[in-house]
Chains A and B, each alone.
Chain A
Amino acid sequence: MGEFLLVTIQVDMHDRLAMTLQEDLTDRIVSAHARGVLIDISSLDMVDSFIGRMLGHIAAMSRILDAETVVVGMRPAVAITLVELGLALPGIRTALNVEKGMDLLRRAQEQDDWEPEDSLHVPAQD
């Protein structure tokens, strides 16, 4: 996958496990020099405020570490419930599936790579 990390959540996580995932992932973003994180939640049959908050934290932390996060595969019933719960996941990019999520990350990165030339910065040595 090169510079993107793919995380597939496949179990009904208890809260401590969710916290561990958050910490591990932050470490991996740094060690793998990842520019993008894809979190596949298609196996999750519910997302409550705790998991929603974890996804928000991951997105915020990866942004600080110069990586983009996309959450993919949310089930329709989960989305309906989340909105009614009062959680609209602000600041989190979503895509229908892994493929579309990858496209989003690639496009985000291309834009990023073009920016220096667009704004007439002298490109750093690569």
Chain B
Amino acid sequence: MTGNPKTASMSLLKTETAPVRTDTDVVLVRQKVRAWAVELGFGLVDQTKIVTAASELARNVLIYGGGGTVRLEALNDGMRKGLRLTFEDHGPGISNLELAMKDGYSTGTGLGLGLSGAKRLSNEFELRSAPGEGTRVMIARWK
């Protein structure tokens, strides 16, 4: 990440890593993300969007990744404040990223809106996955 002018001027206000191992953890992640969004001064709609995106991604970690973690980062890039969430699991990974991002596509029993929906609800979205190694999804929303 060094050498990137964008990250060079970005300051990290606060960070925390939380487990995503049970469906109670998913609720706790929602509540934590809500509290951080409120603290950063996000409006009600922005709060709701990032909390909903977090809920989708946390559930993915649990169901498809067999559990993992989420890292929360409160950021300030000099102009705006932001909340970045990184969901990580060491599950089977995603073999076809393009397909996984399609609305309505699911290998499970869900609606297939988790990844694509989370992307629409965020300002930044990054998905990395390799079969057999796991999945990492980063989203960020700026105020």
CB–CB B116/A80 < 8 A: no
Would you give the 0/1 interface string for A65-101, flagging 1 where the beta carbon is closer than 8 Å to chain B? 0000000000101101110111100000000000000
Number of A-B contacts (CB under 8 A): 70
> A15 an interface residue at 8 Å Cβ cutoff?
yes
CB–CB B48/A77 < 8 A: yes
Q: Which of A1-34 contact B (CB under 8 A)?
A: 12-16
**B120 contacts which of A12, A45, A52, A85 (Cβ < 8 Å)?**
A85
Q: What are 22 sample pairs from A and B whose C-beta atoms fall under 8 A apart? A: A13-B27, A14-B24, A14-B27, A45-B34, A45-B48, A45-B51, A46-B55, A47-B52, A48-B56, A48-B59, A49-B56, A49-B114, A49-B117, A50-B110, A77-B47, A78-B48, A80-B49, A81-B48, A82-B52, A84-B121, A85-B56, A85-B120
CB–CB B110/A80 < 8 A: no
CB–CB B110/A14 < 8 A: no
Q: What is the minimal beta-carbon distance from A94 to any residue of chain B, in angstroms?
A: 17
Tell me whether chain B's interface is mostly helix, strand or loop, or mixed: helix
CB-defined contacts of B34 to chain A, threshold 8 Å: 45
Would you give the 0/1 interface string for B111-132, flagging 1 where the beta carbon is closer than 8 Å to chain A? 1011011001100000000000
Q: What is the minimal beta-carbon distance from A22 to any residue of chain B, in angstroms?
A: 14
CB–CB B116/A86 < 8 A: yes
CB–CB A80/B23 < 8 A: no
Count chain B residues whose beta carbon lies closer than 8 angstroms to a beta carbon of A. 26
Q: What is the minimal beta-carbon distance from B79 to any residue of chain A, in angstroms?
A: 24
The CA of A48 and the CA of B51, in the complex, are separated in Å by 9
For residue B46, which residue of chain A has the nearest CB? A77
Would you give the 0/1 interface string for B48-91, flagging 1 where the beta carbon is closer than 8 Å to chain A? 11011001100100000000000000000000000000000000
